[in-house]
Amino acid sequence: MTFVSAHEVVAKAGPFALEGALRWLEDDVAQICLPSQSWREALARPAQKALEEGTSLKPASLALCAWLVSPEVAREVLPGPRADVQHLAFETETALPVPLRVPTAFMLMALGLMGRSESATTLIAQSFFTVHEALASGEYSSESWRFLSPELPYLGIWSDWDRCRKLRRAVRKSRLGTLARNLLSSNAPLLKGEKSLKVCLTLTTISLAVHSNPVVPKAILCSRCLMTW
């Protein structure tokens, strides 16, 4: 199907176009590949409309809609405190097709670094390892990098090539980084009002990954954090 015909099909389908696209998530092919670029561009406007309406979306539907639109649009219309975004953070490894997991993790990390509320720490904690691994291996798309890169610091002419280090520096300077420092230095509460054991454990591991604490042997760090230390 050509670029033109994909747009024509979406135009003729009207409000049912996105509904049909979301049914793709239930097909086995969703575990193998994402929709083609022509379909992505044709479905971008209906997906943006769905995101802008603010209606709570299921995790996989939210992830697909966020992927269909451009990184710039997604950054603008997806505030981190949205309940469905928070829900998505806990479902990335289970409810999403494999091809959507890395793009979604980049999105969650960017939204987390953009935020200043407690909800932002959840997004960072839940996406850190997936994003760090992808940056280390180079297995991520240019769109994912466009989504995340505005939130990462400049490390100088000799170090800015190290994207893993840029990520760790950004996390270290985030609200989660402050909580991690407190965790390493005291018995302060991890996340005020946060009941999720998973987030607390992840925060503990991240604190070891992004803060060089000489008291903690590096051998006990999560193996995922050892790459490009």
pLDDT, residue 149, reads 92
**Distance (Å, whole) CA 224 – CA 222:** 5
∠ CA 110-112-113, rounded to 5°: 65
pLDDT, residue 27, reads 75
- The structure tokens listed for 40 are 């992505």
pLDDT, residue 220, reads 34
Tell me which long-range contacts 72-75 makes (C-beta under 8 A, separation of at least 24).
Answer: 72/146, 73/44, 73/48, 74/107, 74/147, 75/110, 75/111, 75/114, 75/147, 75/150
pLDDT in tens, the chain (229 residues): 444 576 676 666 556 667 767 777 777 777 788 877 887 888 888 888 888 887 788 888 899 889 989 999 998 888 767 888 888 888 766 778 889 999 999 999 999 998 877 778 888 888 888 999 999 999 999 999 999 999 998 888 888 888 988 998 888 877 666 666 555 555 445 444 443 444 554 555 555 455 544 333 333 333 333 333 2
DSSP state letter for 197 = H
SS3 217: coil
**Each residue's pLDDT tens digit, 9-67:** 666 655 666 776 777 777 777 778 887 788 788 888 888 888 888 778 888 889 988 99
Locus of tokens 């966020």: 66
Query: Dihedrals φ, ψ of 195, to 5°?
Result: -105, 0
